């Protein structure tokens, strides 16, 4: 059986011929970079997906007012859609039951509260 043709490592300037994308050394290097930055890339990219845009639009169509402000008797136009249970904590990404409409100020307050809850742990 002929094996897959080898190609140069994808790391810029590395001349080693490999079967995969990177040689052993650079595979380890790029794995490390992925572990360091992967999570942030995930959330950044997630909010750009058509699936999320559709879920967000659906949520704002069904609840155009900020739900936190409504609880306080105020009607503020919602501009953000928030995950009630954060994705990082295993919350469902698209289930309407895990989404809530928020205005910008309620959303930033909630993010701060979540942040301080994490750091206090």
Q: Is 103 in the site for Zn ion (CB under 5 A)?
A: yes
Q: How far is the CB of 102 from Zn ion (least distance, A)?
A: 6
Q: Read out DSSP for 43-112?
A: HHHHTTSHHHHHHHHHHHHH--B-HHHHHTT---B--EEEESS-GGGT--SS-GGGEEEE-HHHHHHHHH
Phi, psi dihedrals of residue 80, rounded to the nearest 5°:
-125, 155
Q: Is 106 in the site for Zn ion (CB under 5 A)?
A: yes
* Closest CB to Zn ion among residues 8, 115: 8
Q: Is 80 in the site for Zn ion (CB under 5 A)?
A: no
**Residues 3-32 vs Zn ion: string with x where CB under 5 A?**
------x-x--x-x------x--x------
Beta carbons of 83 and 91 less than 8 angstroms apart = yes
When binding is defined by CB under 5 A, the residue of 66, 80, 81, 99 that contacts Zn ion is: 66
Beta carbons of 79 and 56 less than 8 angstroms apart = no
* Closest CB to Zn ion among residues 15, 90: 15
**Contact positions toward Zn ion, by CB under 5 A?**
9, 11, 14, 16, 23, 26, 66, 68-69, 76, 103, 106
């Amino acid at each position: 059986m002929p094996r897959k043709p080898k190609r140069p490592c994808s790391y810029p300037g590395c001349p080693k011929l490999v079967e995969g994308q990177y040689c052993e050394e650079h595979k380890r290097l790029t794995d490390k970079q992925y572990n360091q930055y992967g999570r942030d890339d995930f959330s950044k990219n997630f909010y750009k997906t058509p699936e999320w845009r559709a879920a967000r639009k659906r949520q704002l169509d069904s609840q155009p007012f900020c739900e936190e402000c409504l609880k306080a008797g105020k009607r503020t136009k919602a501009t953000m859609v928030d995950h009630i249970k954060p994705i990082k904590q295993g919350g469902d990404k698209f289930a309407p039951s895990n989404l809530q409409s928020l205005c910008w100020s309620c959303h930033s307050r909630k993010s701060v509260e979540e942040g301080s809850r994490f750091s206090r742990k």
